[in-house]
Chain A
């Protein structure tokens, strides 16, 4: 049974099998995953595990993202296919670099058993891991640098007509040199494939109002909303709107950004879910007011206000955001490598304790539309 033998490597890198040897002569690419030695598990995602690993020969450290083939009735999973296809087209300092694809064994007979790995350049931290560690403190200049790189990455992918669709702190990687990389393109889509997208994308806490209201014809602003949530999180240190349900999320958004109504967002009442979900009325917009206790910088508050704009057509784009005063007024953006150098261990969401300092184990208060004075109380708890 030739296919059950442990794979060996030849100088070309590919596996040699006992039969069909001729098949492989041509392919120095597509190496066997045995080429890498796993060092530690660093992530557990929806679609598979992520490992820190090392190239046995070159000693290059990489991240291996597993693609599970079990129970795949449709063949190679479309999510992994998208991630591969999109990352091959994107080459930018602020986008994670896909090095290659590896698989365990390749014969037509073993499709259920084969495991694929996406091999990425290794980044030492993810932003969720960093923010959950109280010893990691970002100065204002360092926050500027993080946000500038994040928006640069978004500008690049959006100008290549790609939507990320899963912006959140755990999908933002940072190398020890302080370089930020957008990662996890498992939900990303090319804008050119516009038909009607599914609106069930983006982790709930980072999901923009248009998606919650059922918009299917969305665009780059959905990623910008996520950037706004992440920016606020740089100060609050935990996600700013941790909804339990879509309804609840919409409520939290209204409490922060004001009531969603046609006067501030023309056409929002035409969206599918506008009448199906409860859209809280009578809320004032309080983005700056609420965030002020955490974010002292006025320019930061101005930018946050524009990123967290309810109406997607009026939400700032990455280009204009990069031009905003926040990045150009003192203190200037400052490299985070010096600060990170004080920390010798990698920080990942997977390895960190849950990021809910307050009320983690407490039962949640039932959420209702309450009179205004109670909102503050609720708001406190959410932060």
Chain B
């Protein structure tokens, strides 16, 4: 279903450069909007730079991966998609991340209520619930309602079965030995841009090959002789270079540079879009306005009903 789904059409990019560019554009849009009256130097000092957004994004990707392990590592990582077209300054990744995982739980049929979900979190649970439910619709919107995310775990299972039946006949244990490292590889790939660049089955294959390498097993003959049997040399070469790129991307994730995170996070606070900050005055005011508006509308309706009733009564007793 991957081949015909929304993922291939909307959420696959040509390379890290394209993703960087889109994120840079999101950053620029935000700065242009909120820094209208600032000069270039002031803007640089006040807003997150694209590199700083990237750094923070990586930090949250890591947290997300750990957080998802509590549920199921294969669950969709909507955060990655969300921040391709949105700046971290517009929506704080902390808020969005929770929302993403909650939505993913629903999509994956985990059957957790919002109460149970925030029950897993430390801190003000009611506040978390409000944040999550407040951002959920917006998140779905920004994801264009593309909720299905195909992950490499299923194709990985397919490769393992294929290896057992077509290549390592009678040596099922050997194949099972490949599983752990391959799954770990796939898991690591999920919190990176790799899944925005390569198809789930390519990533799964890279995972198997990586794992085999660790075990000192060569799968070259399997890939060229069995898997890609009947394809042209050209295609085999292309596949090999893709696998190499995936392995490179997953294995060479830049280290987190924790000492840099703190300052960037502090820089984020004053430049955020306060209208999307549930803690801010303006957010609370708008929420109130919304309720007031509803109340006004209700009282208008009540008023109208009462007038109608009164008119009806008057008509009944013959007063014009």
Contact = CB atoms under 8 A, between A and B. Distances in A.
B135 A108 contact: yes
Most buried by B among A103, A106, A110, A193: A110
Contact of B29 (A22, A29, A89, A101): A22
A30 B273 CA distance: 22
Interface stretch (B161-169, B219-227, B238-246, B285-293): B285-293
A75 B136 contact: yes
Contacts of B289: 1, 109
Nearest to B289: A1
Contact of A109 (B5, B132, B141, B286): B286
B280 to A, nearest CB: 12
Interface stretch (A77-85, A223-231, A340-348): A77-85
Given A76-B106, A88-B148, 17 more contacts: A22-B33, A30-B144, A74-B113, A75-B132, A76-B137, A76-B140, A84-B145, A88-B5, A88-B146, A88-B147, A107-B138, A108-B134, A108-B278, A109-B287, A110-B290, A111-B137, A113-B294
Interface residues of B, number: 46
A4 interface: yes
B107 A81 contact: yes
A298 interface: no
B107 to A, nearest CB: 6
Contacts of B138: 106-108
B6 interface: yes
B276 interface: yes
Contacts of A106: 137-138, 141
For chain A, the bracket of interface size reads 35 or more
Nearest to B95: A108
B275 interface: yes
B218 interface: no
Contact of A75 (B4, B114, B144): B114
B108 interface: yes
A89 B148 contact: yes
A91 B6 CA distance: 12
Contacts of B144: 27, 29-30
B interface, by DSSP: helix, strand, loop or mixed?
helix
A45 to B, nearest CB: 20
A197 B30 CA distance: 46
Contacts of A113: 290, 294
Interface of A: 1, 3-4, 19-23, 25-27, 29-30, 69, 73-76, 78, 81, 84-85, 88-89, 91, 100-101, 103, 106-111, 113-114, 160, 189-190, 193, 195
A160 to B, nearest CB: 7
B203 to A, nearest CB: 19
| 10 interchain residue pairs of minimum CB distance | A108-B134, A22-B33, A29-B144, A22-B29, A193-B109, A75-B136, A26-B85, A109-B290, A101-B145, A75-B133
B181 to A, nearest CB: 25
Contact of B147 (A26, A84, A109): A84
13 contacts: A27-B142, A30-B141, A75-B114, A76-B136, A85-B107, A89-B5, A100-B145, A106-B137, A107-B286, A108-B134, A108-B137, A108-B138, A195-B109
Nearest to B90: A23
Contacts of B275: 19-20
A103 B102 contact: no
A85 B148 contact: yes
A160 B147 contact: no
Contacts of B6: 88
Contact of A21 (B26, B33, B102, B133): B33
